[in-house]
Amino acid sequence: MTTIEELVEANAISRIEVEMHPRDQTLRLLYGTPGFIAWLGELAKDSQPERRLGEATAAEQVDDLFNTFLSGMPLVYMRQFRSIRAEKNAIWELKTPDIRIFGWFLQKDCFVAVFGNWADEVKDHDLYRGYRIAIRRLRRELGVDETLCVQGVTPGDVLSL
Amino acid sequence: MTCFHFDIGSRARHAGRFIGRVRGELLRVLAEKKAKAGLPQQALAEKLGVKRSLINRQLSGEANLSLRSLADLAWAMDMEISFELKQPMARAGQNQPMTTSTVRHGQIKYINGGGKQVSVFAAPADPEPEQAKKSA
């Protein structure tokens, strides 16, 4: 049976951290695939700030989302996270006003991010189905489709709220 | 084993998290009001004399939230706003900013957006397994 540690050692996924307030500590875990980490690096450049909808840049939105997630603060269901489809081994979406992040929960409070994209691109081109299929294929290739995947689809199944 | 640190710089971090905290607080209170008193966004919009879509966009972060609209939303939800600026305080027992990873003592790699340079390193922190493979 594949373990999270084996996935990390194989460089299939890497741990992601953000600067946290000294009073906070990591209560959830966040991982990313190499492709997602590369996308994150591009986002950090903030090369396309003109595309933001609200006051915060896309990078600021993602930093805030990651900080909220990692420090164990509550996330608002549907506003900040949701499952793409109510199904066994569901694919989940983390959301900011401008950004969508797709992946799955290895375990409760442990998310692995696979794809990140601008919200308008995801919606305009209806990329949900494509991301869902690609992530399911990746999980099969990694051999974790059944073992390292939260089965439930309610918010309480994936996050300690 | 590699650990990536997503760093957008102190200034951007403070701004983004403050904006996120304000919105999160509004969403939290609205959800509570909806559950307890059945106060939907539509009722807020009617009370403020604006379209529901504007309230929705302000709460989702897709539209700017001015101090005036923040005050209006708090008023419509019958809530008071508490705002305070204070010096950051170091307290006994609080965590220190991390400089090393706790994941098998691996090095932390920085994805740094605070400056102009963005560095993403993918090399494993522990080179031993790779060397072992080569020697084999």
In terms of DSSP bridges, do strands A99-107 and A110-118 run parallel, antiparallel, or are they unpaired?
A: antiparallel
Are B6 and A44 an interchain contact pair (Cβ–Cβ within 8 Å)? yes
Nearest CB to B94 within list A22, A32, A34: A22
**Above 60 in pLDDT, residue B114?**
no
Residue A54 sits at φ, ψ, to 5 deg, of: -100, -160
More confident residue, B108 or B62: B62
Instruction: Give the pLDDT confidence score for residue A145 in this predicted structure.
Output: 74
Are A76 and B28 an interchain contact pair (Cβ–Cβ within 8 Å)? yes
Nearest CB to B16 within list A11, A41, A61: A61
Instruction: Give the pLDDT confidence score for residue B91 in this predicted structure.
Output: 67
* Tens-digit pLDDT profile for residues B47-91: 999 999 999 988 888 888 899 999 999 999 999 999 999 887 766
Are B4 and A62 an interchain contact pair (Cβ–Cβ within 8 Å)? no
Pick the CATH number of B9-76 from 1.20.81, 1.10.260, 2.60.40, 1.20.1560: 1.10.260
B83 — contact with chain A (CB < 8 Å)? no
Distance from CA of A100 to the nearest CA of B (A): 13
Confidence at B100, pLDDT banded by 50, 70, 90: low
Q: Are A22 and B96 in contact (CB under 8 A)?
A: yes
Instruction: Give the pLDDT confidence score for residue B126 in this predicted structure.
Output: 46
Nearest CB to A55 within list B2, B5, B64: B64
Are A15 and B31 an interchain contact pair (Cβ–Cβ within 8 Å)? no
Instruction: Give the pLDDT confidence score for residue A22 in this predicted structure.
Output: 84
**Prediction pTM value:** 0.82
Of all residues in chain B, the one with the smallest CA distance to A66 is B6
Q: Which of A3, A4, A19, A70 to mutate: most B Cβ within 10 Å?
A: A19
Distance from CA of B123 to the nearest CA of A (A): 9
Alpha helices in A2-152 (DSSP H): 4-9, 34-44, 58-70, 119-124, 128-142
* Tens-digit pLDDT profile for residues B8-35: 888 889 999 999 999 989 988 998 888 8
Nearest CB to A76 within list B12, B27, B119: B27
Residues 14-73 of B with CB under 8 A from A: 15-17, 19-20, 24, 27-28, 31, 59-65
- Give dist(CA B15, CA B3) in Å, integer: 25
Instruction: Give the pLDDT confidence score for residue B96 in this predicted structure.
Output: 61
Q: Are A144 and A7 in contact (CB under 8 A)?
A: yes
B120 — contact with chain A (CB < 8 Å)? yes
Nearest CB to A63 within list B16, B24, B129: B16
Start-to-end CA distance of chain A, whole Å, equals 29
Q: Which residues touch A24 (CB under 8 Å, ≥6 apart)?
A: A67, A71, B95
The mean pLDDT of B117-122, rounded to a whole number, is 41
Instruction: Give the pLDDT confidence score for residue B109 in this predicted structure.
Output: 67
Instruction: Give the pLDDT confidence score for residue A154 in this predicted structure.
Output: 92
Sequence spans of domains, chain B: 9-76
Confidence at B136, pLDDT banded by 50, 70, 90: very low
Are A11 and B111 an interchain contact pair (Cβ–Cβ within 8 Å)? no
More confident residue, A25 or B124: A25
Taking only the tens of pLDDT, chain A with its 161 residues reads 689 999 999 999 999 999 998 888 899 999 999 999 999 998 887 655 555 666 888 999 999 999 999 999 999 888 899 999 999 889 999 999 999 999 999 999 999 999 999 999 999 999 999 999 999 999 999 988 778 999 888 999 999 97
- Scored b (16 or more CB within 10 A) or e, A8-43 reads beeebbbbbbbbbeeeeebebbbbbbeebbebbbbb
Sequence spans of domains, chain A: 4-19+26-156
Residue A82 pairs in a beta bridge with A93
Share of residues in chain B with pLDDT > 90 (%): 35
Instruction: Give the pLDDT confidence score for residue A146 in this predicted structure.
Output: 78
